[in-house]
Amino acid sequence: MKAFFTKLFSPILKLFEKGEEPENYQPSHRKILLIMGVLFLGLAGVSLYFTFRTDQMAALLPTLIFAATGLVCAIVGFLGSDKAVSNIWRSAR
C-alpha cells in the first residue's frame, strides 16, 4: 500500500528529495512535520466550515492554501525519505 501511494505522490516527493544538500535528519523533524500537517488540515476544515456558514466564497482561497500545505506536510511526513524531510525543513548545515 505504501509503495502505491509513494508512486502516486512521486511528483511531490521528488521536489523535496532532489538537491545536493547534506542530510541533517532527526526523527523529531518527521513528528513535527506530521503534527503541522494535521494542524493545517484542521485549520482548512474550520476555514471551510466558516466559509459556508457565512456565505463568503472569497474565503475559499485560504482554505485551499491551508489544505494544500497540510497535504504536502502529511505526504512528506508519511511517505518521504529522510532527505525529503530534511529538505522541507532546510536544516542542512
Nearest to 46 by CA among 70, 22, 24: 70
For residue 60, CA distances in Å to 41, 64, 68, 70, 74 come to: 14, 6, 12, 15, 21
Decide if 1 is inside a domain.
no
Tens of pLDDT along 17-26? 887 665 677 8
Tens of pLDDT along 23-66? 677 889 999 999 999 999 999 999 999 999 999 988 899 999 99
Decide if 5 is inside a domain.
no
Decide if 3 is inside a domain.
no
Q: Name the 3-class secondary structure at 24.
A: coil
Decide if 64 is inside a domain.
yes
Nearest to 74 by CA among 85, 60, 65, 82: 85
- pLDDT over 80 (residue 7): yes
Decide if 4 is inside a domain.
no
Decide if 7 is inside a domain.
no
Domain residue limits at 47: 12-89
Decide if 62 is inside a domain.
yes
Please report, as a single letter, which amino acid is at residue 72: V
Q: How many angstroms from the chain centroid is the CA of residue 91?
A: 16
What is the domain count for the chain? 1
Decide if 73 is inside a domain.
yes
Write down the pLDDT at residue 93.
Answer: 44
